[in-house]
Structure 1
Amino acid sequence: MNVALRWQSTPANALDAEQLGDLASLCLKLEVETHPKPGLVSHVDNGAHSDMDAELLCRSADTLRPFLRDLALAGAEGAGMSRLRAIGVAAERAMLAETGGVNTHRGAIFGLGLLCAAAGYRGALGIRKSLGDLVSRRWGEDILSGPISLRSHGAMASRRYGAGGARAEAACGFPSVYEIALPALRAARKLAPCDEEAVRVQTCMTLIADVTDTNLLHRGGEEGLHFAQAGASAFLAAGGVGRRGWRERAIDIHHAFVARNLSPGGSADLLAMALFVDRLAP
């Protein structure tokens, strides 16, 4: 955490590409270091996943660090979507080589990578716009018109159920980050001012409750999505992390997700993105 302490003393708009890559990688690790997140891998257990654990996810985050740095640098240099996409493809190859073919962070490479590029672009120009707005304005059209991954579970669920998915989210400037996750993150700090893990749990639950997570659609269809949203919504309605015994209730929801093989991977990616954006808010 020494690097994190250095970031805290550095103005957000002064972070260079190396620091942005470090910060993005750290945010991926902070997502892993959050428990209980329903159905998701954490430092405590593997959730609904038989092919990955916390150690693998952290190795993946380390592997992605230089590519996230390169995306920030490309953004600072005014790169177009074709260059960003090439860096993202290289990042995915490196991730799969490190994990033995396990998709640990494909969604994060896309979303967090675009935010890194926007952060580099914003820092180079010295402007005070949100990262999401910059992504939408600078690359939004190319995001929507670019090639569609046929391998992505989220993309397949988007096609089957008509959900917007990661491409629409990015092209619109990440509304789930700015309109759902960030307000939840900041409100949760009032509920649990001395417990950042609790803050992250509350934010993750809010995302699960409010986002059409295509990973949930892929694993459980519409029934699984509705089950997940209802469980997270009930947790929040009961007071969330601001109520005594919240951890035990969250663990019960986590176990119910695991029993149904549900994992809200899209919400996990959005949580990491929200942590990144929160740190860099102008």
Structure 2
Amino acid sequence: MTKHHDERLAHIAVSALTDQLSLAPKPGLPDPRDLTARAGGKDHQTLRWSAQALTPGLTAMAAAARRAGEPTPLLREELGAIGRCAEHTVDLAGGGHRGALWALGLLVAAAALAPSARGAEVAALTRRIAAHPDRKAPRRPSHGSTMSVKYGAAGARGEARAGFPHACRALKALAASRRAGATETQARLDALLTVMSTLRDSELLYTAGPSGLRHVHTGARAVLDAGGTATPAGTDALTALDDDLRARGWSPRGSAALLAGALFLDTLPSLARPGNAPAGNRRSRL
């Protein structure tokens, strides 16, 4: 691994995030249909702009992992410190993406630690990084920690400590939908809905409570049970779910962050083949 590879991993991660932002229609989530995003009231173009501000931080995380060579407690603390600086930079650029920064930062670090690893192997390595406590992290309550105490939700940290199982499920859903003949947009929407159908999203729990979370799970499963977004029945179910979540003001942001993680993992094999472009530069089959 070299500095060039650190930068490339960061650019692939940011491309994965901007690909997620560009996807539409995403139920209850910011997408290009909106001038004003539903998550946090941020303009969609601002979210795309602030995503670019993640690049220096993600590059630094890859470099830190490359220097460390193994998932040590010291590396975990360094990643946390870099992440907090990156949050400040992103806030100056317009804000957003905290969940994506956590997920993509750990995945980028894992990919830097094991350059030959792919997909689920990279996700599994994050378990060894996230297992170490960040002793220098500020001790302040968050929506995730509050929901963890109140409902036992694993939250973003629990997802990382488990090796990002929902991102891996999304990765499998992408492959299955592509094999079935779905367009790239349809495959990515099916992957998002796969995450939404089971993730105990702490932000949703905070906003809508357990009954609201079950409501979202049921709606996402209805689309998948109808054959996914490549079928007329699935498209109708997706439209109904989107209208419903927009009306309620519920935003499954945790699922969006994990989809970005899955898109990053989906692109990693191209690193082993010279000349292949990052995911953000591939033309989707619309």
- Confirm or deny a common fold (TM above 0.5): yes
Q: What displacement does 1:157 show?
A: 2.1
Q: What displacement does 1:163 show?
A: 0.5
Q: Distance in 1 between matches of 2:170 and 2:79?
A: 25
CA deviation map 1:74-103 (0-9, x unaligned) = 11111611111111010000011111xx4x
**Residue 57 of structure 1, aligned match among 47, 52, 58:** 47
For residues 37 and 261 of structure 1, do their structure 2 counterparts lie closer, same or farther at Cα, with a shift above 3 Å needed? same
For residues 74 and 177 of structure 1, do their structure 2 counterparts lie closer, same or farther at Cα, with a shift above 3 Å needed? same
- Give matches, 1:168-183, under 5 Å: 168-178=158-168, 180-183=169-172
**Residue 94 of structure 1, aligned match among 82, 86, 89:** 89
For residues 149 and 158 of structure 1, do their structure 2 counterparts lie closer, same or farther at Cα, with a shift above 3 Å needed? farther
The residue number in structure 2 matching 1:68 is 58
Amino acid of the structure 1 residue aligned with 2:44? A
The residue number in structure 2 matching 1:160 is 150
The residue number in structure 2 matching 1:134 is 125
1:210 matches 2:198: yes
Q: What displacement does 1:184 show?
A: 1.0
CA deviation map 1:223-263 (0-9, x unaligned) = 11011011111111111123125434312211100111111
Which residues of structure 1 form unaligned runs of 5+? 1-11
1:82 matches 2:102: no
Amino acid of the structure 1 residue aligned with 2:100? A
Q: What displacement does 1:65 show?
A: 1.0
The residue number in structure 1 matching 2:276 is none
CA deviation map 1:136-184 (0-9, x unaligned) = 12x2321487747635323322222110111111112111112x21111
Q: Distance in 1 between matches of 2:235 and 2:22?
A: 15
Q: How many positions carry a matched residue from both structures?
A: 263
The residue number in structure 1 matching 2:18 is 29
Higher helix share: 1
The residue number in structure 2 matching 1:114 is 106
For residues 136 and 49 of structure 1, do their structure 2 counterparts lie closer, same or farther at Cα, with a shift above 3 Å needed? closer
Question: Does structure 1 conserve the Cα–Cα contact (< 8 Å) formed by 2:61 and 2:109?
Answer: yes
Amino acid of the structure 1 residue aligned with 2:165? P
SS in 2 for 1:242: coil
The residue number in structure 2 matching 1:4 is none
Question: Does structure 1 conserve the Cα–Cα contact (< 8 Å) formed by 2:62 and 2:112?
Answer: yes
Q: What displacement does 1:276 show?
A: 0.5
Q: Distance in 2 between matches of 1:96 and 1:110?
A: 15
1:234 matches 2:225: no
- Give matches, 1:201-280, under 5 Å: 201-244=189-232, 246-280=234-268
For residues 276 and 258 of structure 1, do their structure 2 counterparts lie closer, same or farther at Cα, with a shift above 3 Å needed? same
Question: Does structure 2 conserve the Cα–Cα contact (< 8 Å) formed by 1:143 and 1:170?
Answer: no
Seq. identity, %: 35
Q: What displacement does 1:127 show?
A: 5.8
Amino acid of the structure 2 residue aligned with 1:121? L
Q: Distance in 1 between matches of 2:117 and 2:42?
A: 40
Amino acid of the structure 1 residue aligned with 2:187? V
Question: Does structure 1 conserve the Cα–Cα contact (< 8 Å) formed by 2:77 and 2:135?
Answer: no
Question: TM-score when scaled to structure 2?
Answer: 0.84
Question: TM-score when scaled to structure 1?
Answer: 0.85
Amino acid of the structure 2 residue aligned with 1:107? G
Question: Does structure 1 conserve the Cα–Cα contact (< 8 Å) formed by 2:228 and 2:235?
Answer: no
Amino acid of the structure 2 residue aligned with 1:94? T
Amino acid of the structure 1 residue aligned with 2:18? K
Q: Distance in 1 between matches of 2:209 and 2:230?
A: 31
For residues 116 and 30 of structure 1, do their structure 2 counterparts lie closer, same or farther at Cα, with a shift above 3 Å needed? same
Question: Does structure 1 conserve the Cα–Cα contact (< 8 Å) formed by 2:186 and 2:230?
Answer: no
For residues 144 and 187 of structure 1, do their structure 2 counterparts lie closer, same or farther at Cα, with a shift above 3 Å needed? farther
For residues 49 and 15 of structure 1, do their structure 2 counterparts lie closer, same or farther at Cα, with a shift above 3 Å needed? same
